[in-house]
Chains A and B, each alone.
Chain A
Amino acid sequence: MNTILEALQYAFIQRALVGGVFIGCCCAFLGVFLVLRRLSLIGDGLAHVGLAAGGLGLFLNTQPLWVSIPLVMFASLWILWLSDKADVYADAAIGLVSAVSVAVGIILASVGRGFNIDLFSFLFGSILAISMHEVILSVALSVIVIGMVFLFYHELFAIAFEEEYARVLGIPVEKINKILILCTAVTVSLGIRVVGTMLISSLIIFPAITALQIARGFRLAMLLAAVFSTLSVLIGVFVSYLADLPTGATIVLINFAFFVLSFIIKKMR
Chain B
Amino acid sequence: MNLIEIKNVCVRYGPIEALCSISLAISAGDYVAIIGPNGSGKTTLFKAILNLLPLTEGSISLYGTDARRFTQWNKIGYVPQVSRNLHKGFPATVREIVASGILSAKSFPRMIFGKDYSKVIKAMETVGVCDLAERLIGELSGGQQQRVFLARAMVNDPDLLLLDEPTAAIDPATREQFYRTLREINTQFGKTIVLISHDASHIGHFAAKLAYLDKHLVFFGGFDQFCISPEMTRYFGPHAQHLICGQHCPMKEKQ
Is residue A161 within 8 Å, beta carbon to beta carbon, of the partner chain?
yes
Q: Point out the residue from B52, B85, B112 that lies within 8 Å of A167, measured CB to CB.
A: B52
Is residue A86 within 8 Å, beta carbon to beta carbon, of the partner chain?
no
Is residue B251 within 8 Å, beta carbon to beta carbon, of the partner chain?
no
Find out whether the CB atom of B91 lies under 8 angstroms from the CB atom of A154.
no
Is residue A212 within 8 Å, beta carbon to beta carbon, of the partner chain?
yes
Is residue A66 within 8 Å, beta carbon to beta carbon, of the partner chain?
no
Given the complex, which residues of A lie within 8 Å of B136, measured CB to CB?
Answer: 216-217
Find out whether the CB atom of A217 lies under 8 angstroms from the CB atom of B91.
yes
Find out whether the CB atom of A165 lies under 8 angstroms from the CB atom of B73.
no
Q: Point out the residue from B90, B93, B103, B134 that lies within 8 Å of A154, measured CB to CB.
A: B103
**Would you give the shortest CB distance from B189 to chain A, in whole angstroms?**
21
Find out whether the CB atom of A217 lies under 8 angstroms from the CB atom of B93.
yes
Is residue A4 within 8 Å, beta carbon to beta carbon, of the partner chain?
no
How many B residues have CB within 8 A of the partner chain? 27
**Would you give the shortest CB distance from A222 to chain B, in whole angstroms?**
9
- In this complex, the member of B80, B92, B93, B96 whose beta carbon has the largest number of chain A beta carbons within 10 angstroms is B92
Find out whether the CB atom of B91 lies under 8 angstroms from the CB atom of A212.
yes
Given the complex, which residues of A lie within 8 Å of B109, measured CB to CB?
Answer: 151
Given the complex, which residues of B lie within 8 Å of A161, measured CB to CB?
Answer: 87, 90, 92, 97, 100
Given the complex, which residues of A lie within 8 Å of B50, measured CB to CB?
Answer: 167-168
**Would you give the shortest CB distance from A18 to chain B, in whole angstroms?**
29
Complex Cα spacing A121 to B110, Å: 41
Complex Cα spacing A4 to B90, Å: 39
Q: How many residue pairs at the A-B interface have CB separations less than 8 Å?
A: 71
Complex Cα spacing A151 to B96, Å: 17
Given the complex, which residues of B lie within 8 Å of A211, measured CB to CB?
Answer: 91
Complex Cα spacing A161 to B145, Å: 14
Find out whether the CB atom of B103 lies under 8 angstroms from the CB atom of A216.
no
Find out whether the CB atom of A164 lies under 8 angstroms from the CB atom of B97.
no
Convert A146-177 into 0s and 1s, putting 1 for each residue whose CB lies closer than 8 angstroms to a CB of B: 00000110110110111011011111000000
Complex Cα spacing A36 to B15, Å: 34
Complex Cα spacing A206 to B45, Å: 42
- The A-contacting residues of B in range 79-135, CB under 8 angstroms, are 80, 85, 87, 89-93, 96-97, 100-101, 103-104, 106, 109-112, 134
Complex Cα spacing A165 to B97, Å: 11
Is residue B71 within 8 Å, beta carbon to beta carbon, of the partner chain?
yes
Find out whether the CB atom of A215 lies under 8 angstroms from the CB atom of B110.
no
Q: Point out the residue from A164, A171, A212 that lies within 8 Å of B80, measured CB to CB.
A: A164
Find out whether the CB atom of B104 lies under 8 angstroms from the CB atom of A216.
no
Given the complex, which residues of A lie within 8 Å of B85, measured CB to CB?
Answer: 162, 164-165
- The A-contacting residues of B in range 45-69, CB under 8 angstroms, are 50, 52
- The A-contacting residues of B in range 150-208, CB under 8 angstroms, are none
- The B-contacting residues of A in range 158-201, CB under 8 angstroms, are 158, 160-162, 164-165, 167-171
A218-B92 CB under 8 A given contacts A155-B103, A164-B85? yes
Given the complex, which residues of B lie within 8 Å of A152, measured CB to CB?
Answer: 110
Complex Cα spacing A25 to B101, Å: 28
Given the complex, which residues of A lie within 8 Å of B112, measured CB to CB?
Answer: 154
**Would you give the shortest CB distance from A176 to chain B, in whole angstroms?**
10
Given the complex, which residues of B lie within 8 Å of A160, measured CB to CB?
Answer: 90
**Would you give the shortest CB distance from B173 to chain A, in whole angstroms?**
27
Convert A73-101 into 0s and 1s, putting 1 for each residue whose CB lies closer than 8 angstroms to a CB of B: 00000000000000000000000000000
**Would you give the shortest CB distance from B72 to chain A, in whole angstroms?**
9
CB nearest to A219 among chain B residues: B96
Is residue A21 within 8 Å, beta carbon to beta carbon, of the partner chain?
no
Find out whether the CB atom of B104 lies under 8 angstroms from the CB atom of A154.
no
**Would you give the shortest CB distance from B148 to chain A, in whole angstroms?**
12
Find out whether the CB atom of B73 lies under 8 angstroms from the CB atom of A170.
yes
Is residue B78 within 8 Å, beta carbon to beta carbon, of the partner chain?
yes
Is residue A69 within 8 Å, beta carbon to beta carbon, of the partner chain?
no
Is residue A205 within 8 Å, beta carbon to beta carbon, of the partner chain?
no
Find out whether the CB atom of A169 lies under 8 angstroms from the CB atom of B80.
no
* New A-B contacts (8) at CB < 8 Å, excluding given A167-B50, A168-B104: A154-B110, A162-B85, A164-B85, A167-B52, A170-B73, A170-B104, A218-B92, A218-B93
Can you name 24 A-B residue pairings with CB atoms under 8 Å? A36-B87, A36-B90, A154-B100, A154-B111, A154-B112, A155-B103, A155-B110, A158-B103, A161-B87, A161-B90, A161-B92, A164-B52, A168-B50, A169-B101, A169-B103, A170-B104, A171-B110, A211-B91, A212-B89, A216-B134, A216-B136, A217-B91, A217-B136, A218-B91
